[in-house]
Chains A and B, each alone.
Chain A
Amino acid sequence: MSEKKLFPVTVVGSWPRPAWLIQALRKRQASGCAESEFQAVADRAVVECLDAQEKAGVDIPSDGEQRRDNFYSFVVEKLGGMRLMKVSELMDYMKDRARYEEVLRALDVPAFAIKSPIVVERLTEKNGLAQDEVDFAKKHTTRPLKVPLPGPYMLTRSSWFEGLSDKVYGAPEELAKDVVKILRKEVQALKAKGVEFIQFDEPILSQIVYGAESTETFMCAALPNRRDPSDELALAVRLMNETTEGIDGVRFGVHVCRGNWSRKEEVLLKGNYGPMLPYLMQMNIHQLVLEFATPRAGELEVFKEYKNEKEIGLGVVNPRTDEIETPEQIVARVKELAKFYDPEKIFLNPDCGFGTFAERNVNTAEIATKKMAAISEAAKQLRGEFQGKAAAS
């Protein structure tokens, strides 16, 4: 599990989906396309995206989430008991419709464009969440693979909706028991398949901390019904630890960002990781995969008091801009952290995926490749400088 070289380069998960894949995805969602037909198109996209990552020098690639509608809604196809519902369909069940309305207007999106997986029956397993993705990707890369999964907290909170889910699970905590069970089983299956890195996506934790006074953003339909932030963060810690308890031999990461559906920085959340860190540090995971290229994420200094407790997957490029960060800029950023953080505990990645939502690529594959290549070049320079120092120390 331990990395031989310093500053391993990895992705956060999603890669821009080509137009022909999005078309096939739409066709599949409208039930106008056989599953095998869609999977054949997605196979091609995965091969292309693995190839692009390898050429860009990514040490730990992902399959680009090419088969997924988005990073958490895809579970609808993988589990029984869930329905992918549009926010427009959920409006009849919402308690605070005015807040949703403000958010929709701020984002300038229709309610039918935002979909959430909602639990409507007791959850049942089918053939795993990402095991088919891994089986295919492993045939097309020899590099260690990163597999992003929706985190237990996000999966629970985003899919429990009062009026729909409470008929089978009285409260989110009840649903969480089944979610944890399913995720634990998945993690063990992925580990058996030789997956090196499992990343749990918990981006809504930033919404918990910074979304309370803001109507600028939301990532899933159920969130505005949330409770006290510290209770929610404590629940996130508990669910994560229940999910990973006693499982070793695989690297666990948790990814937290501030939204990645728009290139308009002003509609995304801002605020540093400080208030979240006491909770994130209690999670039994190896790595925090965080954004730090965007100034909205605040300063690296918040890690000073948590020196070397966890690996940091340092976000060094902004996936939402056309400008390619230079290796020199990336090196300088990493050095800021390496002043007080063990270089052996620093991984390099973009702030988030390049296409978190299938219909909203935040960049092109060409720019994504160039950004990853810039990270790889920076990592090379950093290794040249730090490899000797690490060996000597």
Chain B
Amino acid sequence: MAEAKMSGERLNGLRPEKLNEILCSMKQPEVLQGISGPWKSRVVWQDGFRAKAYMRTHASEMDEPGGLDATDLAASAHEQLLSAIGACMTVGFVLNATKRGVKIHDLEIALEGNFDNILKWAGLDDAGNPGYRGIKAKAFVRADADEKTLREIWKLAVDGSPVTQSVVRGTPVTTEIEVV
């Protein structure tokens, strides 16, 4: 694990010293404010069930499966929510492993969820939750550390994941509409 401490050397594709420097700097109010947000996304309807999200200099498409008479050109928004959770956990795992000097060889997270009452989405039922009833995430990892260490890293990744915790804690979403 000592390799991570060596100046300039990369671990898990990151520079541990630089990373630690950045993380420490987050305690400074101006840095913390900048990194806390606001984070933004603008979603623009394209056609049918297709939408495109613009985030900083990036864009990603969303669509719905062909079974809904959609073009299925991209994953649906709810699938991307699963992916966002998994990707956020991945980032957290890599962050915490790198901080500890643990080299990761492979990391993969399988996620799945079932809707509670999709009939509400379809307008066929007034009650219930159209969202996921629950979400399961299973990580597979091969890394240079013992199982106890890897389990600790996994816990830190899950507990510290902004996306996961937004879902777990039921972050309020305030909405409005303007007709133009």
Contacts and interface: CB of A to CB of B under 8 A. Distances in A.
B146 interface: no
A112 B110 contact: no
A110 B106 contact: yes
Contacts of B110: 104-105, 110
Interface string B137-171: 00010100000000000000000000000000000
The secondary structure that dominates the B interface is strand
Interface string A93-116: 000000000001100011111000
B44 to A, nearest CB: 27
B42 interface: no
B108 interface: yes
Interface residues of A, number: 10
B56 interface: no
B105 interface: yes
A109 B141 CA distance: 11
B68 to A, nearest CB: 16
Nearest to A105: B110
A282 interface: no
Interface string B104-139: 011010101000000000000000000000000000
A1 interface: no
A34 interface: no
B105 A111 contact: no
A276 to B, nearest CB: 33
B105 A110 contact: no
Contacts of B105: 30
B75 to A, nearest CB: 11
B6 to A, nearest CB: 18
A88 interface: yes
A221 B140 CA distance: 19
A97 B22 CA distance: 38
Contacts of A109: 140
Nearest to A110: B140
A30 B106 CA distance: 12
A30 B103 CA distance: 12
A226 B142 CA distance: 31
A375 to B, nearest CB: 36
Contacts of B106: 86, 88, 110, 112-113
Contacts of A110: 106, 108, 110, 140
A109 B140 CA distance: 8
A17 B95 CA distance: 35
A178 B70 CA distance: 45
A176 to B, nearest CB: 32
Contact of B142 (A105, A111, A112): A112
Interface string B3-45: 0000000000000000000000000000000000000000000
A82 B21 CA distance: 42
Contacts of B140: 109-110, 112-113
Question: Which of A105, A110, A112 is packed against the most chain B CB atoms within 10 Å?
Answer: A110
Contacts of B112: 105
Nearest to B144: A30
A30 B142 CA distance: 12
Nearest to B112: A105
A109 B110 CA distance: 9
Nearest to A30: B105
Given A110-B140, A112-B140, A113-B140, 7 more contacts: A86-B106, A88-B108, A105-B110, A105-B112, A110-B110, A112-B106, A113-B106
Report, nearest first, the 3 A-B pairs whose CB atoms are least far apart: A110-B140, A112-B106, A110-B108
5 contacts: A30-B105, A88-B106, A105-B110, A105-B112, A109-B140
